[in-house]
Amino acid sequence: MTQDIGLQIRGGTKVYPGTRALKGVDFDLRMGAVNVLVGENGAGKSTMMKVIAGVEQLTEGQVLMNGAEVRFHGTDDARRHGIGIVFQELNLFPNMTVAENIFINREITRGRIDIDMAAQRRATRALMRRLEHDIDPDAMVGDLRVGQQQIVEIAKSLAQDARILILDEPTSALSAAEVEILFRVIADLRRQGVGIVYISHRLEELIRIGDYITVLRDGAITGARSMAGVDVDWIVRAMIGEASRDFAKDIDHPYGAEVFRAEDVTLPRAGGGMAVDHVGMSLRAGEILGVYGLMGAGRSEFLECVIGRHPHSGGRIFVDGKQLRTKTVAGRIRSGIALIPEDRKNDGLVQILSIRENMTLSSLAAFTTGFHMNLGTERGTVRDFVKRLTVKIASMENPVSSLSGGNQQKVVIGKALMTRPKVLLMDEPSRGIDIGAKAEVFRTMRKLAAEGLGIVFVTSDMEELMALSDRIVVMSNGRVTGEFDRKDATETLVIAASAKGHAPIKESAA
């Protein structure tokens, strides 16, 4: 089958001061199809999409729509041509309701002045029905989970009758059930003739949903074809030039004694009920424990209880067999626990500070005598960790915000390791980083475990879970609903356990 080409880029080059982000790319966007776009971070995917969405203009080359050259001056202009984009970083107003967000700047009005709230609410409800979500139009966006916010973003584009819809990593924050719904929506849109551009790092997902695939490397297109016959190996080869996806490589080593145990951990939910409901697990030195579950299963909240973020949480935490008395984050860190949060940008890093200052933030005591910090020792230690974790940086004095996602994650890992933890808690450690960096993060995890560190990691990626875990704990609705040794675990068993206590697919709204 051949679809109409709705938009083309010919010889597209984009030069930023000092770098060429796109080097003469030719791209065809087919209507009524899912055009998958893949490449490592910094390969130029986002730049290309920004050009299509009118955020950036090409330095050289043309954008053609239906054979005629177009130039978009801003996103509004692109939107008038029927192009909608859902950015990876959500662009929503947390202080406004769902309906207000969806109709922002295109409010339904009576006489151009009075906003017709009822009509907006009705339209929002209709959109949510189409997306199979029952998010209340009057809910504050800030109160929604990230996955639900993503749905709102997609609804916003749908409300604008986009003919071309660009989705930049739409599933990175969605649970398995939410992904299924999204895929149905995408299939539906495709039938209606919408041209979809789909960017993701989850390769299986791409193969499943894509009709056409375009692979970018270093600003150039290294592969473009119909999806038929494409497999993971082919994509990886096109992306990084060699077949290497070896993060599952086993390092066999004996486990040590129990380093960490949690008993009866509870956290009340704001609206009643339990976000974490009497959860317990134990971990031995050198072991990697994978915690799987759907969005909202209470996994992140459990880790937050362990690190001491919620002073009103209940339960007992043991490190090396000794129960911890301290309830503060600083005390827990001193006791040998470290957390790598899911939300790198808001929880993991202080964006405005330098790489060095971020890395040492949790362990300044190590460089301090009395009041005095020894900046030389600090720099030395940072240099060591940068080397050990192979963080690619030009200078440790640059702001951490100038790094790619993968390198930022390594800075967060470095920060955690500098506190000399016995237990490392990692919440979605591979979220939003490219496959090369992902493999490196996983190798690092394996290496750390081999050195005797106990690791608890939360993931929503089944393949990651199976490849990395020595043992698997499944959570659902705040409870532990399954525990498996790796050799006994199968995807079916794990998924069945993760659905316990949930009505199929439909999730309770926040």
Residue choice 77, 347, 470, 483 for contact with other proteins (CB under 8 A)? 347
The residue range among 109-117, 128-136, 312-320, 368-376 that interacts with other proteins, by the rule CB under 8 A, is: 368-376
Decide: is 349 part of the binding site for other proteins (CB under 8 A).
yes
DSSP string, 412-470: HHHHHHHT--SEEEEESTTTT--HHHHHHHHHHHHHHHHTT-EEEEEES-HHHHHHH-S
Instruction: Find all residues with CB under 8 Å of 71, minimum gap 6, and list them.
Output: 57, 63
Residue choice 118, 243, 251, 364 for contact with other proteins (CB under 8 A)? 364
Q: How many residues of this chain interact with other proteins, rule: CB under 8 A? A: 47
Decide: is 402 part of the binding site for other proteins (CB under 8 A).
yes
Residue choice 17, 254, 271, 311 for contact with other proteins (CB under 8 A)? 17
Q: Least distance (Å) from other proteins to the CB of residue 356?
A: 10
Decide: is 109 part of the binding site for other proteins (CB under 8 A).
no
CB 186 within 8 A of CB 34: yes
Decide: is 401 part of the binding site for other proteins (CB under 8 A).
yes
Strands 471-476 and 479-485: antiparallel
Instruction: Find all residues with CB under 8 Å of 140, minimum gap 6, and list them.
Output: 94, 95, 96, 97
Kindly tell me the burial class for residue 1, based on how many C-beta atoms sit within 10 Å of its own C-beta (0-12, 13-18, 19 or more): exposed
Amino acid at 190: R
Q: Tokens at residue 381, please? A: 């230690």
Give the integer Cα–Cα distance in Å for 414 and 417: 5
Q: Least distance (Å) from other proteins to the CB of residue 395?
A: 6
Residue 247: DSSP 8-state: T
Q: Tokens at residue 185, please? A: 């929506």
Decide: is 330 part of the binding site for other proteins (CB under 8 A).
yes
Decide: is 143 part of the binding site for other proteins (CB under 8 A).
no
3-state secondary structure of 168: strand
Residue with smaller CB distance to other proteins, 358 or 469: 358
Decide: is 186 part of the binding site for other proteins (CB under 8 A).
no
Q: Least distance (Å) from other proteins to the CB of residue 354?
A: 9
Decide: is 18 part of the binding site for other proteins (CB under 8 A).
yes
Binders of other proteins among residues 413 to 432 (CB under 8 A) are 415, 419
Token pair 């890992």: residue: 413
Q: Least distance (Å) from other proteins to the CB of residue 206?
A: 25
Residue with smaller CB distance to other proteins, 36 or 337: 337
Decide: is 369 part of the binding site for other proteins (CB under 8 A).
no
Decide: is 307 part of the binding site for other proteins (CB under 8 A).
yes
Within 10 angstroms of residue 392's Cβ, the number of other Cβ atoms is 11
| H or E stretch at 147 | helix 146-159
Residues in touch with other proteins (CB under 8 A): 16-19, 42, 307, 309, 328-330, 332-334, 339, 341, 346-353, 357, 360-362, 364-365, 368, 371-373, 375, 392-395, 398-399, 401-404, 407, 415, 419
